[in-house]
Structure 1
Amino acid sequence: MHNAYFHYAEPKNEPVLNYAPGSAERKALQQALADLKAETRDIPMYINGKEVRSNSQKEIRPPHETGHLLGHFHEGTGEHVKQAIDAALAARQSWADMAWEHRASIFMKAAELLATKYRWRMNAATMLGQSKNAYQAEIDSACELIDFLRFNVHFLTQIYNQQPLSPQGFHNRMEYRPLEGFILAVTPFNFTAIGGNLPTAPAMCGNVVVWKPANTQIYSASVFMEILLEAGLPAGVINLVYPSGPTIGDICFKHPDFAGVHFTGSTGVFQTMWKTIGENIANYKSYPRIVGETGGKDFVMVHPSANVDSVVANIARGAFEYQGQKCSAASRAYLPSNLAEEIKEKLIAEVRTMKMGRVDDFTNFVNAVIDEKSFNNLAKYIDGVKNSAGKAKIICGGNYDKTNGWFIEPTIIEAMDPYYVTMCEELFGPVMTIHVYDADKWEDILHVVDNTSGYALTGAIFAQDRYALETMTKKLVNAAGNFYINDKPTGAVVGQQPFGGARASGTNDKAGSILNLYRWLNARTVKETYVPVTNYRYPFHQAD
């Protein structure tokens, strides 16, 4: 009998473990790394709750140790996509009808499994498959993913509890249904947490999902799927497949039951998706929800009153943690002429202390970029600076090597032109470009900061002058969806800084907040009249 209202209190953010020498967590993670490296994993797709294998297998190798084989994944075809859609639609009604407390329990259990039993395995898989160091894996594949699961349960409970007014004699209520059809979740390589959140947020709302991760994130995605199944996720609710992007898009976007896409990836791909959905709009049962986050060209604006050491430390972390492969990574910085030389000197000294190498050596701050395509793209930009005829120069780093992995040395470029190519285009690697401006004209440079890039994801401003902070905050109001004052532009925490940007950076539906969940719900208003009228006439119809 379902006659109680269930409450899920606001959770606390999952504590971040530090992995200090001699700590229990360090030993556990080192063992998990050794265990995974000792096996060659055979990674299937998961359709209708069952493992599915194909005739085509693709190798998975660590980006930082390309000579080592971690395993193979089974590449999907169009037929697998169709099977995943069919499985999702077959599961839809039962999943939508499941009482909320039972749906919620599945994801709360998954969070608990991830926080305990699977923490080391998930972090190790992220480290090996995506070349993250121990701390970057911990804040991503453990803490952020756990937070997404727990906070989304809390947020969704808040939504369900929001009800309209009911005057005497009537009962008004709001029901929140899942969308009519299936959701396509397309997830990136750089965050395991995003890979987990994009399919589970819609599923938590009662939707069924076809999930396609980036090939370079399949290794950790498959571990999360194991967790969901152990937590009791019913067959067909989330179906994990590995086809090519064009293959899954061609089938899903032509299907009449396509109800929405939850996407993180490139602007070009997202715009193509949007165009294709628009061209097929008459074929759908409903208007699909289109939710996407598509990258950034994130800035650091330094005011003449800024604290130099704070600027240096935050650029070093913001630009080079996880090799600059965060959508939010600091990629361009504007330094005032009165502080520029001191900032450059100290920043270069700091960057030169950063060790680079394999993830299982915990002393390494920098690891490899994700694959050869990324490596070649970054090398092209670095070589372009060397041949720029004085338009820009490399003041730190600038080397790269792919002998044993895709290693790009942390690089700082100084651009004489604020519109030099590396100030404008998203590089997605450990390459930071700085431009020195006239300190007396700091307000003028704000227009350049705002208009240099089509993106508007994250940005940071540094100043000790409060009037200047207010001015910059106002003038850069549209330049970033996540805005940081005297802090690096990375590191958004679920429940604290809901994440997302506008302009070319996406739809700004704020993952990690209640706003994102509204996108996966259809509201139905129900009005019940206790004593209905029996005469159509109103009092004003009566004669005097």
Structure 2
Amino acid sequence: MNEWQSIAPYANEPLTDFQSEENRMAMEAAIARTKTILGASIPLRIGAEKIFTDLMTKSVNPGNLDEVVGYVSKADLEHAEQAMQAALFAFESWKKTPVVERASYLFRAARLMRERKHEFSALMVLEAGKNYAEADADAAEAIDFLEYYAREMIRLSQINETMPLVQIQGERNKFSYIPLGVGVVIPPWNFPLAICAGMTSAAVVAGNTVVLKPASPTPVIAYKFAKLMEEVGLPDGVINYLPGSGSEIGDYLVTHPKTRFISFTGSKEVGLRINKLAAEVAPGQIWMKRLIAEMGGKDGIVVDETADLDAAAQAIVTSAFGFQGQKCSAGSRALIVEDVYDEVVAKVTELTRRLAVGMPERNCPIGPVIDESSYRRILNYIEIGRGEGTLAVGGRIAGGNGYYIQPTVFVDVEGGARIMQEEIFGPILAIAKAKDWREAIRLYNDTEFGLTGSFFSTDVDRIEEAAETMHCGNLYMNRKCTGAFVGAHPFGGFNMSGTDSKAGGHDYLLLFTQAKAISFKTG
């Protein structure tokens, strides 16, 4: 029996209940252990080589600026070319590796990550500024991606049995999904384990090799994932860990003639730049590069007068301020019908006032934003918001030796305001009043993005119409607009939210493959 066949049917990794004293103490112990090994030097990983460079970047705890998480080697163009060559060399054997064997590495990595989940979460608390629940959910999602993509690749390899081609007399017809080649994987810092693991594992289980360029604010957790894949025996060169400058090595790899695909999650601006660079055909390039991009959102929650207003207010606050609003799915807008506007605003304001700001390692609900540039940008948006709406709560710097900002709510904001239109990626919520639920949906749709949204109502007919007319890739009814689960909520959006690649869905792995049909003459 193959290893994968002995595993129980797929189910999402359960989240940890930190109301339990035992679980809370286990996390505290993991954080304490992790703090004893902070400040280590992190090498590049190219093929079988670990390379320490003279030029290093410093990863700092955003919640305690005196604490260095790690010193990370910084790659240059020579290293980028070396990584590309290592990936090209490894691809020649990796593409021939049977699918079940490729999947087995992901299953083993998922099992080890599950055993060490608090260890991975603790590092995210310290490097990314996540509280316990946010870090735990990130680690759980990483496990889900590993398990799910392993199973999905096995399913795709059995396509001739499950979805056979039409057979013509005198022929035998086969269909298969084969790998693309070498890809560049550029994950974000806000889900530094889950999305990094998901993007990378999807590419490699499909038979590709990758150059992994981690996000600059969170390279240490990405290295911990790369080390895990090394530990489970993944062949050298399948994943090449290459931290460095996006404008230097990132551009070099995106424009390289041997790059077959780019898998990117990040801002709209960077995604559009990558799209433009990838569209140019370099000398010696014999294919159109494929771009898989998730580029953010300006997500919102619509509330009508029939809704459960307490549930709606809680969902608005959770969606807006979970992980300090640093999610592409964050509900940074609320569109509320005028009949219940004042009541919902009062509830949202009160819930926001209760949110304590402080160090993630102490499990405060609101922690720091990721770095100084984000901190300054968000504070600038607060000043913009003062001129575009009425400040209801927050609006100030919070105390602490880190990048702390109070969760902030602006009300009576017009639909065309900048804080209603631009992705802020921070703890700012803008609330607008609509004359009725259809106008609220129109305000919701009035954006260049289309990632997530929520509609709160108890009217079945309205819910059905909202399902058709709210234009986004992930729409939720009567729940928050964050928290997509692998397999249950394939994730990706419309318009400037990216290529609607649907991570954690049945068709995601197809983006890392090319389909090949073969016909054999039999008579």
The letter of the residue matching 1:198 is: M
Bigger shift: residues 489-498 or 70-79 = 70-79
Would the alpha carbon gap of residues 469 and 402 (structure 1) be closer, same or farther in structure 2, given more than 3 Å must change? same
Choose which of 30, 33, 36 in structure 1 pairs with 2:31.
Answer: 33
1:386-443 deviations in Å (ceiling 9; x for gaps)? 3x1xx411101111147510001011011342211101111001110001222xx332
Question: Secondary structure at 1:306's aligned position in 2?
Answer: coil
Query: How many angstroms does 1:38 deviate by?
Result: 2.2
Does residue 518 (structure 1) correspond to residue 510 (structure 2)? The answer is yes
The code of the aligned residue for 2:517 comes to T
Q: How does 1:318-397 map to 2 (within 5 A)?
A: 318-362=319-363, 364-386=364-386, 388=387, 391-397=388-394
AA paired with 2:505?
S
TM-aligned CA distance change 1:28 to 1:19, over 3 Å: same
Deviation at 1:228, TM superposition (A): 0.6
Paired letter, 1:371: D
Match of residue 134 from structure 2? 136
Change (3 A) 1:402 1:182: farther
Secondary structure, in 3 states, of the residue corresponding to 1:198? helix
- Structure 2: gaps (5+ residues): none
Identity of aligned residues (%): 32
* Equivalent residue, structure 2, for 1:80: 79
Question: Contact conserved, 2:3 with 2:104, CA < 8 A, in 1?
Answer: no
Which whole-Å deviations, capped at 9, do the CAs of 1:174-194 have from their partners, x for residues lacking one?
A: 122111x31000010000200
Partner Cα separation in structure 2 for residue 357 and residue 507 of structure 1: 36
1:212-252 CA distance string (max 9 Å, x none): 01111212111111111111111000101012112123322
When residues 55 and 4 of structure 1 are mapped into structure 2, their CA distance, relative to the original with a 3 A threshold, is: closer
Contact 1:8–1:153 (Cα < 8 Å) also in 2 = no
Letter in 2 for 1:333: A
**Partner residue in 1 for 2:438:** 443
Aligned runs of 1:360-509 on 2, under 5 Å? 360-362=361-363, 364-386=364-386, 388=387, 391-401=388-398, 404-438=401-435, 441-451=436-446, 453-476=447-470, 479-509=471-501
**246-255 or 414-423, which deviates more:** 246-255
Alpha-carbon distance in structure 1 between the residues aligned to 2:237 and 2:399: 41
Contact in 2 for aligned 1:126/1:219 (Cα 8 Å) = no
Larger Rg: 1
- Measure the CA separation in 1 of the matches of 2:427 and 2:360: 16
Greater displacement, 408-417 / 319-328? 408-417
Q: TM-score, normalised by structure 2?
A: 0.95
Is contact 1:183-1:207 (8 Å) kept? yes
TM-aligned CA deviation for residue 385 of structure 1: 2.8
User: Matched residue of 2:507: which SS?
Assistant: helix
SS of residue paired to 1:483: strand
User: Does 1:162 find its partner at 2:159?
Assistant: yes
Distance 1:169 1:190, change over 3 A: same
Structure 1: which 5+ residue stretches go unaligned?
Answer: 532-544
- Contact in 1 for aligned 2:99/2:153 (Cα 8 Å): no
The one-letter amino acid paired with 1:309 is: D
Change (3 A) 1:74 1:527: same
Contact 1:305 1:464 in 2 (8 A): yes
Is 1:417–1:435's contact at 8 Å kept on the other side of the alignment? yes
CA-based RMSD: 1.9
Q: Deviations over 1:1-56 (max 9, x none)?
A: x9999797741111111123421x33232122112222322111211133211011
Which residue does 1:14 correspond to in 2? 13
Aligned match of 1:68: 67
Q: Kindly indicate whether the alpha-carbon contact (under 8 Å) linking 1:481 and 1:502 is maintained by their aligned counterparts in 2.
A: yes
Superposed CA deviations along residues 369-392 of structure 1, whole A, max 9, x for unmatched, are 000111101111112233x1xx41
C-alpha distance in structure 2 between counterparts of 1:255 and 1:431, whole Å: 39
Q: Distance in 1 between matches of 2:7 and 2:30?
A: 33
Q: Which deviates more from structure 2 when the two are superposed, residues 194-203 or residues 169-178?
A: 169-178
Residue 215 of structure 1 is matched in structure 2 by 216
Task: Tell me if structure 2 keeps the 8 A contact 1:49–1:239.
Answer: no
Q: Partner amino acid for 1:155?
A: E
2:89 corresponds to = 90
Distance in 2 between the 1:403 and 1:446 partners?
A: 39
Cα 1:416/1:59, change in 2 over 3 Å = closer
8 Å contact 2:407–2:427 — kept in the other structure?
Answer: yes
